[in-house]
Homo-oligomer: A and B are copies of this chain.
Amino acid sequence: MNTLEAMAARYSYRGTYQNTPVPREHLMKIMEAGCAAPSGCNLQTTSFIAVDDPETLARLHALLRKPVGITAPAMICVLSQKLPSYHGRYYHVQDYGAAIENILLAITDLGYASCWVEGYVTDEHAIGRKMADILHVPEEYDLVAYLPVGIPAEEGPRVKKKPLTDRAWFNAFRKTQ
């Protein structure tokens, strides 16, 4: 798929998935895409665990409070290390934002669907930490999001976006020409 086509085709899919497994080769390509994203001072603070073992998936799904992606045959868990960078500042959130976007585009490019699930994973219920424990992730890494991977069973709805004229300008704020 062409890069710009993949960006236009990507959307947050919250429906059910077909039961077709995702080949390891594809999961590896997807994680490789995540690793290809830039990171502040090249600290490479983001890493990934692809989960395709049905028993491990079932244990992770049992922790979730919303059913997004629980029928997907695979899931990418996104791990982040909060490492100090330039002048003691942190860029790990920007890093995993960029890495996740690459992963979502690779998932789309390979014919799968996904959804960036973060909000309730890292809130006061600390579900991310419980998921991390199942995956034997040490405390220095935070599990900040999960991304289901699989062939969608249907076409899901797309969110409405603001017109470009509300977000993209030339040479000054809100100048559209």
What residues of chain A have their CB less than 8 Å away from a CB belonging to chain B? 1-4, 6-8, 10-12, 24, 27-29, 31-38, 40-42, 44, 46-53, 56, 85-87, 89, 91, 93-102, 104-106, 108-109, 116, 118-120, 123, 135-138, 141, 159-162, 164, 166-173, 175
Contacts and interface: CB of A to CB of B under 8 A. Distances in A.
B97 A172 contact: no
Contacts of A96: 94, 97
A87 B56 CA distance: 29
Copy number in the complex reads 2
B120 A164 contact: no
Contacts of A2: 1-3, 109
A172 to B, nearest CB: 5
Given A49-B173, A101-B98, A119 B36 contact: no
Contacts of A49: 169-173, 175
Given A3-B105, A24-B170, A34-B168, 7 more contacts: A27-B170, A42-B161, A56-B171, A86-B120, A86-B123, A101-B102, A138-B173
